[in-house]
Structure 1
Amino acid sequence: MARGLLLAAAAATCLAVPAEAAPTARPGSARPAPARDWTKTVVVTPQGGFRMGNPAAPVKLVEYGSLTCPHCAHFSTTARAALEARVRTGRLSFEFRNYILNGTDVAATLISRCAPPATYFRLTESLYATQPQWVARIEGITIDEKLKLSALPDAEMYGRIADIAGLTQLAASAGVAPQRAKACLADKAGLARIDAMNAAAGKLGVHSTPTFFVNGRMIRTQEWADLEPLIRQAGG
């Protein structure tokens, strides 16, 4: 996957247990506080995604997203607060699975997946929030520089992309030391894992980002306003 993805996008494109009982409400309070903040529960799933929330939530939202996709960044910045409010209650879980579109995306994904589960979503949000800046740094290099990059071994190529884009510095802000980031960028098993995730996504009919599934049903939208009623109807 590494060679073709650096200079051209992949065929895919970036398109536009039940919850614990809450404590009894105190007089005058609008609603009881949740017994547990499920946004603090983050694990890596067998499919390779990072899931936030109650594993037994009645509604399961899965996003296939690319870290270089502006529509995915838009969803992250506009929907995160409302999404996490629902995850917090234990009624909704949210899983993010990477769907790679290009070589810069590979480097960013390897960096993001280097973070421990507890800080994974914080780093991902930071990558989305600063996406225009670090993507522009890579897009700004010359064709000759891109050709030289693509001729490098994978470990060197993705490490160099990360350095140019400033991804290692962003990762450090989420507790990923530069040396650890370099190791993740050179990790052949990590690269094989995201290749396998792309292949599995394709079998599910995923060809663009973001693509969402609510309880296994593909939802063709890029907006929380479309997803939220479906989540509510499903019990989330």
Structure 2
Amino acid sequence: MTKFRTLALAALVAPLALGLAACNSAEEEGATEGEPIAPIAAPAGTQWSDVTNVSEYDGYVLGNPDAPIKLVEYASLTCPACAAFATTGAEELRTEFVNSGRVSFEIRNQIHGPHDLALATLVRCGEKEAFHPLADQVWANLQQLLTPIIENSAQVEQAINLPPEQRLVQIAEIGGFYEFFAARGLSADQARQCLAKEDVYTAIAERSQKQSAEFDVTGTPTFFINGNKVDANNWNAIKPLLEKAGAR
């Protein structure tokens, strides 16, 4: 049985519990304290929130790649708490912190089941600059995307038993993902091609497992500031930690 198959079947046992598993947070060292950092100008004619790079951990880094304060979120695209962070904090994080050049914001995927893996593959399918906007769109419309998956869990389980190049293709069909992403610039043909690549989606799942073990990420959202895991999982708690680290 492949790692993907094991992960997928475990997630399907209780699909409604995925959101609960996503709200874990552990007691950690917390963010470091630093002196106020002056804003860092973006290249002429741009702003830092227009800049996206892919990190060595295959996370998508928004903003100044050399920002002195690095915020990393391990996130699941099916996680209600991650959705709450995106809807309450993403705009202020971009405009007030990322655009200042003092803070970069990296999202790394933690996978919570085969439908989550399909979504993670799709937000990575186009240009790297589309990753953060598409992830935000998924979180803003989470109920719409999860409802057909939950209501048709038997069909999702059947899809897992299809040949590897058909599994996520079929899961996306069940969830109505093609129409959703087509309305946001990713064609159905392009989406199907991405989802059919077993090596691509397996690598995403394996990175999720490896990094979760390496960094003790037991649920989402889990945040790190300059490498320190912090005991905070919402914007109201993260914002003062960024300010404490020098983003003020």
Question: If the length of structure 1 is used for normalisation, what is the TM-score?
Answer: 0.87
Give yes or no for contact 2:53–2:65 (8 Å, CA) kept in 1. no
Give yes or no for contact 1:6–1:146 (8 Å, CA) kept in 2. no
Give yes or no for contact 1:21–1:35 (8 Å, CA) kept in 2. no
Tell me, in whole angstroms, the C-alpha distance in 2 between the residues paired with 1:168 and 1:84.
28
1:174 paired residue among 181, 184, 196: 184
Residue of structure 1 in register with 2:8 after alignment: 6
Give yes or no for contact 2:53–2:61 (8 Å, CA) kept in 1. yes
2:162 paired residue among 152, 159, 165: 152
Equivalent runs, 1:46-57 vs 2, <5 Å:
46-57=56-67
Residues 1:103 and 2:111 aligned together: no
Residues 1:113 and 2:124 aligned together: yes
Q: 1:66 is aligned with what amino acid?
A: S
Aligned length: 223
Computing the radius of gyration from Cα coordinates, the structure with the larger value is 1
Tell me, in whole angstroms, the C-alpha distance in 2 between the residues paired with 1:196 and 1:183.
20
Higher relative contact order (CA 8 A, sep 6+): 2
Gaps of 5+ in 1: 23-33
Residue of structure 2 in register with 1:200 after alignment: 211
CA apart distance, 1:177: 1.7
Residue of structure 2 in register with 1:211 after alignment: 222
Residue of structure 1 in register with 2:151 after alignment: 140
The verdict on how the C-alpha distance between 1:103 and 1:225 changes in structure 2, with shifts beyond 3 A counting, is same
Tell me, in whole angstroms, the C-alpha distance in 2 between the residues paired with 1:230 and 1:142.
40
Output one character per residue of 1:176-223: Cα deviation in whole Å (capped at 9) or x when no partner.
Answer: 221111111111232232123211232111110010000000012221
Q: 1:4 is aligned with what amino acid?
A: T
Give yes or no for contact 1:115–1:171 (8 Å, CA) kept in 2. no
Tell me, in whole angstroms, the C-alpha distance in 1 between the residues paired with 2:156 and 2:67.
45
Give yes or no for contact 2:117–2:205 (8 Å, CA) kept in 1. no
CA apart distance, 1:173: 2.9
Tell me, in whole angstroms, the C-alpha distance in 2 between the residues paired with 1:74 and 1:111.
21
Output one character per residue of 1:28-81: Cα deviation in whole Å (capped at 9) or x when no partner.
Answer: xxxxxx984100001111210111000111100000000011111111111111
Tell me, in whole angstroms, the C-alpha distance in 2 between the residues paired with 1:147 and 1:188.
17
Moved more, 215-224 or 1-10: 1-10
Tell me, in whole angstroms, the C-alpha distance in 1 between the residues paired with 2:186 and 2:103.
28
Tell me, in whole angstroms, the C-alpha distance in 1 between the residues paired with 2:101 and 2:90.
16
The verdict on how the C-alpha distance between 1:230 and 1:156 changes in structure 2, with shifts beyond 3 A counting, is same
The alignment's C-alpha RMSD in Å is 2.3
CA apart distance, 1:21: 4.9
The verdict on how the C-alpha distance between 1:3 and 1:225 changes in structure 2, with shifts beyond 3 A counting, is same
Residue of structure 1 in register with 2:196 after alignment: 186
Q: 2:133 is aligned with what amino acid?
A: R
Residue of structure 2 in register with 1:80 after alignment: 90
Output one character per residue of 1:5-40: Cα deviation in whole Å (capped at 9) or x when no partner.
Answer: 334329x93115x85459xxxxxxxxxxx9841000
Tell me, in whole angstroms, the C-alpha distance in 2 between the residues paired with 1:189 and 1:138.
24
